[in-house]
Amino acid sequence: MLSLKLPRLFSIDQMPQVFHEQGILFGYRHPQSSATACLLSLFQMTNETLNIWTHLLPFWFFVWRFVTALYVTDIQNDSYSWPLFVYMGTSCVYPLASSCAHTFSSMSKNARHICYFLDYGAVNLFSLGSAIAYSAYSIPDVMVCTTFHDYYVPLAVLNTVVSTGLSCYSRFLEIQKPGLCKMLRVLAFAYPYTWDSLPIFYRMITVRMGILLTQSLSSFPSHRPEELFLLPGESVQNEAVLNHQKHMAMTLLASFFYSAHLPERLAPGRFDYIGHSHQLFHVCVILATHMQMEAILLDKTLRKEWLLAHSRPLSFPQITGAILLCLIFSLSNIIYFSAALYRIPEPELHKKET
């Protein structure tokens, strides 16, 4: 009778230090696994299995959303929808890249770094896709056609390039300066996210102020204060803003899990296979993306008439140019740092390993 022999698993003491995860003691794959062994590990409970599936399954969900939206849209003639499809396309790329990175990261030390270099590039591509969608559909009314609006996407492109380089560089500090490594990596993803979210922060603040002012003037029935304090076109956006708020809250929760290494830091060995921080981080990131997508779809629908009348839509050359520049410079970063792995002497890069 045929039987499938799954790869052997190892404890943290048997692994080179570059593979160590804080608070994770067991369930490591062989540090020089073959591609076949890596694929087999998808169906074996290791400390990476749920990291893979928590992004692989959502990848197919986002592909389904993307294909469904394409099916009901005349993409060739509906230029208003182009930024949405760029965003939805990038929302498919980053979960696939992440699941592949976690799948094949045990092939070798250098393969591990390169897998995550590609993962970081995909995350930054998604960041640019978000900026393009925000620029097209979610920019506050008062910012439309301003200098900020004109430079919003170009600076988002620059942010992706810098962020990819900084996050890739941080991997060279993992062994010798783990604290600095973590700080740089969090910074690398936090600052482009903050830039992308500035229009959303503004909208949430102004809507909240409008609600407070409306409540304070509710004793004057002869007036309609909600019309005074909500900006043109913004009276129909409260539902979208609520989804943006949920997205922000879930993103903050994801950042907490990524940075804190909880709960496994408090109980090493208890959460090796199920429930450790990176799995929770993945779940929160996917939920945040889902909420962000719902918010952008609402903005696209509710604000369409006003935006078409007052905004300058992104042209096809602008969109493709931004994506191409991001791809070219981010891939250049990845190639440069990948080549550097082979230039740096082994003892210097991993000198604390046993």
Residue located via tokens 């995350």 = 123
Domain locations in the chain as residue ranges: 52-72+80-343
Q: Are 293 and 65 in contact (CB under 8 A)?
A: yes
What one-character DSSP code corresponds to residue 30?
P
Task: Report which of 18, 25, 22 is spatially closest to residue 354, judged by C-alpha positions.
Answer: 18
Please report the sign of the dihedral spanned by the C-alpha atoms of residue 37, residue 42, residue 43, residue 48.
positive
- Separation CA 174–CA 152 (nearest Å): 33
Amino acid at 264: E
Question: Quick check: helix, strand or coil at residue 248?
Answer: helix
If you count them, how many residues does the chain have? 354
DSSP code of residue 134: I
Question: Looking at beta carbons, which pairs linking 65-70 to residues 24 or more positions away fall under 8 Å?
Answer: 65/293, 66/91, 66/92
Position 6 scores a pLDDT of 79
pLDDT digits (tens), the chain, 354 positions: 345 677 899 999 999 999 999 999 999 999 999 999 999 999 999 999 999 999 999 999 999 999 999 999 888 889 999 999 999 999 999 999 999 999 999 999 999 999 999 999 999 999 999 999 999 999 999 999 999 999 999 999 999 999 999 999 999 998 889 889 999 999 999 999 999 999 999 998 887 676 666 556 555 554 454 444 444 445 445 689 999 999 999 999 999 999 999 999 999 999 999 999 999 999 999 999 999 999 999 999 999 999 999 998 899 999 999 999 999 999 999 999 999 999 876 544 444 444
E strand spans, 53-107: none
Number of H helices, E strands in the chain: 12, 0
CA dihedral of residues 9, 15, 19, 22 (deg, nearest 10): 90
Specify burial of residue 65 (Cβ count, 10 A radius: 0-12, 13-18, 19+): middle
The pLDDT assigned to 103 comes to 97
CA distance 201 to 206: 9
Hey, is 28 helix, strand or coil? Answer: strand
Tell me the two tokens of residue 223. Answer: 């007036």
The predicted structure's pLDDT at residue 15: 96
CATH number of 52-72+80-343: 1.20.1070
Judge whether 199 and 138 are in contact, CB under 8 Å.
yes
Report the alpha-carbon distance of residue 181 to residue 171 in Å, rounded.
Answer: 7
**For residue 257, what are the contacts with CB-CB under 8 A and spacing of at least 6?**
277, 278, 280, 281, 284
Q: Who's near 297: CB < 8 A, 6+ residues apart?
A: 84
Distance between CA atoms of residues 41 and 344, nearest Å: 30
End-to-end Cα separation, the chain, in angstroms: 41
